């Protein structure tokens, strides 16, 4: 592994600083420190966990000015977006504090004994939840606060009673370090072990691989590319003691627009969709990468043709900022080129001037080609979308099946029940973790009913979510206590 790596200005490519990469010994020390902190933290009360999480939220807000300025240098996401993201991150921390304080991590099922022979009779049983243990958390590049050091994975793991070792993202390493130092100050003030939240860093993939292989790690949480997540998931499964790997990976988030809906408000929807495609320079896991239009007859084709032009016009007015890294910019351009090589035609493909951010790209292709060619179904991370023209509802459903797993599917025009609406909603629910019927998929609310995860390749665990209250459940496992002594029953799920 390289001993150093650099922080870069995302707009200019200028080197902002050089950092020391974590060595194998550093990774071992961080993992072992987390393991040493686990007995104390798994036995902590909901109030103790809430106190820590609220202090971390307050510390984040207190350091806002310096943290946002540094994040803007390393990501080019802009202070308005970054301040909003910091607010969301503090909100998440406080929400999981409330969840812990309410006792949700300690909820249990009491199943009193029933006299008689089985199967009707059974012994007294209680079903408890216990934390898994130290969690390896892999930070994302595109959300330097909300899905990074103090993001939802860290918040939910701590609320569940699990220590965390963070693998910082090399796209914002100085911000990562500064945020972690803030955490250490809070831990020290509360007289908690420093190893409760550890950090390893480096540009080499080997840092992340060594962390997930470490025997002290009991679970891993990841947000990033399908390729990177699949590699780490394989490592987690290949360990002598395999561990659960909760990966949120790639997604192309189809938007299905029915002709009647486009006829009624096509221009409005085109403006909304264009903003979603270009938001954050298209660097969202919920970016609407595919738009499915139904050419069911000549009238519908005319409506759809008009919408494509409206969308192109709306996109032309968007001005994306610089991408997070030069590598992402290169991959975006390669992905767009693959569309052309696979037979897509470009509705708009303006080449940006040298040194300038990318321009939005819109292409379209027939459903048969989309279904047949895998290159058209790969996520293109950036301000772009591919229009897929389907001849019928049945073919639109084939398009969804070809997409496979997706974080989201949006269906515009299903407000009135019909056999077609039922079929499209059923098809959307079959592949997505979240189905929208209004608006656009960018923007993931932190709520009780949220589901941010779907079938492969959108995530490795379709039954879990990385956003929302239910994220807590990833880091807990059930234990049944049978004929437990009275003193243990009396604890009612509270940790020992």
CATH number of the domain at 297, please: 3.40.309.10
Both 225 and 317 in one domain: the answer is: no
What pLDDT is attached to residue 1? 65
Number of domains in the chain: 2
Q: Which of 74, 101, 235, 248 is catalytic?
A: 248
pLDDT per position as a tens digit, 402-429? 999 999 999 999 999 999 999 999 999 9
What pLDDT is attached to residue 354? 85
In a domain, 494, yes or no: no
Task: Report the candidate in 188, 274, 250 with the shortest Cα–Cα distance to residue 456.
Answer: 250
Both 165 and 286 in one domain: the answer is: no
Q: Are 289 and 252 in contact (CB under 8 A)?
A: yes
Asked if the model's pLDDT at residue 290 lies above 70, the reply is yes
Asked if the model's pLDDT at residue 127 lies above 90, the reply is yes
What pLDDT is attached to residue 2? 77
Cα angle: 103, vertex 105, 110; to 5 degrees: 80
Mean pLDDT, residues 145-167: 98
Does the annotation count 281 as an active-site position? no
Asked if the model's pLDDT at residue 118 lies above 80, the reply is yes
In a domain, 448, yes or no: no
Q: How far apart are CA 171 and CA 327, in angstroms?
A: 10
Task: Report the candidate in 140, 250, 174 with the shortest Cα–Cα distance to residue 15.
Answer: 174
Q: Are 146 and 172 in contact (CB under 8 A)?
A: no
In a domain, 454, yes or no: no
In a domain, 441, yes or no: no
In a domain, 262, yes or no: yes
Name residue 411's beta-bridge partners.
256
Both 187 and 204 in one domain: the answer is: yes
Q: Find the CATH number of the domain harbouring 44.
A: 3.40.605.10
- Contacts (Cβ under 8 Å, ≥6 apart) of 117: none
pTM passes above 0.75: yes
Mean pLDDT, residues 190-217: 97
**H or E stretch at 16:** strand 15-20
What pLDDT is attached to residue 355? 87
Does the annotation count 101 as an active-site position? no
Both 335 and 380 in one domain: the answer is: yes
Which pairs with CB-CB distance under 8 Å and at least 24 residues apart come from 488-493? 489/124, 489/126, 492/106, 492/108, 492/110, 493/103, 493/106, 493/107, 493/108, 493/126, 493/128, 493/129
pLDDT tier at 63 (50, 70, 90 boundaries)?
A: very high
Mean pLDDT, residues 198-208: 96
In a domain, 443, yes or no: no
Both 245 and 304 in one domain: the answer is: no
Both 244 and 283 in one domain: the answer is: no
393, 421, 436 — which closes off a domain? Answer: 436
Q: Which residues span the domain enclosing 358?
A: 254-436
Name residue 364's beta-bridge partners.
345, 387
Both 47 and 170 in one domain: the answer is: yes
Both 134 and 234 in one domain: the answer is: yes
pLDDT per position as a tens digit, 235-269? 999 999 999 999 999 899 999 999 999 999 999 99
Both 283 and 324 in one domain: the answer is: yes
């Amino acid at each position: 592994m390289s001993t150093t790596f650099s922080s870069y200005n995302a707009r200019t490519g200028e080197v902002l600083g050089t950092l020391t990469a974590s060595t194998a010994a550093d990774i071992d020390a961080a993992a072992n420190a987390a393991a040493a902190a686990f007995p104390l933290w798994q036995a902590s009360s909901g109030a103790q966990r809430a106190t820590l999480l609220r202090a971390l939220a307050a510390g984040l807000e207190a350091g806002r000015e310096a943290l946002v300025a540094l994040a803007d240098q390393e990501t080019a996401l802009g202070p308005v977006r970054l301040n909003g993201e910091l607010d969301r991150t503090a909100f998440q921390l406080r929400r999981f504090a409330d969840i812990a304080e309410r006792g949700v991590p300690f909820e249990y099922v009491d199943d009193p004994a029933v006299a008689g022979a089985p199967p009707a009779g059974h012994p007294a049983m209680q079903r408890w939840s216990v934390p898994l243990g130290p969690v390896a958390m892999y930070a994302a590049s595109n959300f330097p606060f909300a899905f990074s050091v103090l993001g939802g994975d860290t918040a939910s793991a701590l609320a569940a009673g699990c220590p965390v070792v963070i693998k910082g993202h090399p796209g914002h390493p100085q911000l990562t370090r500064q945020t972690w130092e803030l955490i250490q100050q809070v831990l020290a003030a509360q007289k908690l072990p420093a190893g409760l939240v550890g950090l390893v860093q480096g540009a080499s993939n080997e840092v992340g691989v060594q962390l997930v292989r470490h025997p002290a790690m009991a679970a891993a949480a990841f947000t990033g590319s399908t390729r990177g997540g699949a590699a780490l998931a394989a490592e987690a499964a290949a360990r002598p003691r395999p561990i659960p790997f909760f990966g949120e990976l790639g997604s192309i988030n189809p938007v299905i627009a029915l002709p009647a809906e486009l006829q009624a408000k096509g221009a409005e929807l085109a403006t909304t969709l264009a903003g979603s495609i270009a938001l954050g320079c298209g660097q969202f896991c919920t970016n609407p990468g595919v738009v499915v239009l139904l050419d069911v007859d000549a009238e519908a084709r005319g409506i759809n043709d008009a919408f494509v032009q409206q969308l192109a016009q709306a996109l032309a007015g968007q001005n994306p900022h610089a991408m997070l890294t030069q590598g992402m910019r290169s991959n975006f351009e390669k992905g767009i080129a693959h569309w052309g090589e696979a037979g897509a035609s470009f509705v708009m493909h303006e080449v940006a001037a040298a040194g300038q951010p990318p321009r939005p790209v819109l292409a379209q292709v027939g459903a048969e080609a989309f279904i047949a060619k895998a290159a058209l179904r790969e996520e293109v991370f950036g301000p772009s979308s591919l229009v897929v023209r389907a001849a019928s509802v049945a073919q639109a459903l084939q398009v969804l099946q070809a997409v496979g797993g997706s974080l989201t599917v949006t269906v515009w025009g299903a407000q009135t029940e019909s056999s077609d609406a039922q079929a499209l909603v059923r098809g959307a629910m079959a592949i997505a973790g979240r189905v929208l019927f209004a608006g656009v998929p960018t923007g993931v609310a932190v709520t009780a009913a949220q589901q941010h995860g779907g079938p492969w390749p959108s995530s490795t665990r379709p039954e879990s979510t990385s956003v929302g209250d239910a994220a807590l459940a990833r880091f807990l496992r059930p234990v049944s206590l049978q004929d437990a002594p009275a003193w243990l029953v009396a604890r009612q799920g509270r940790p020992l």
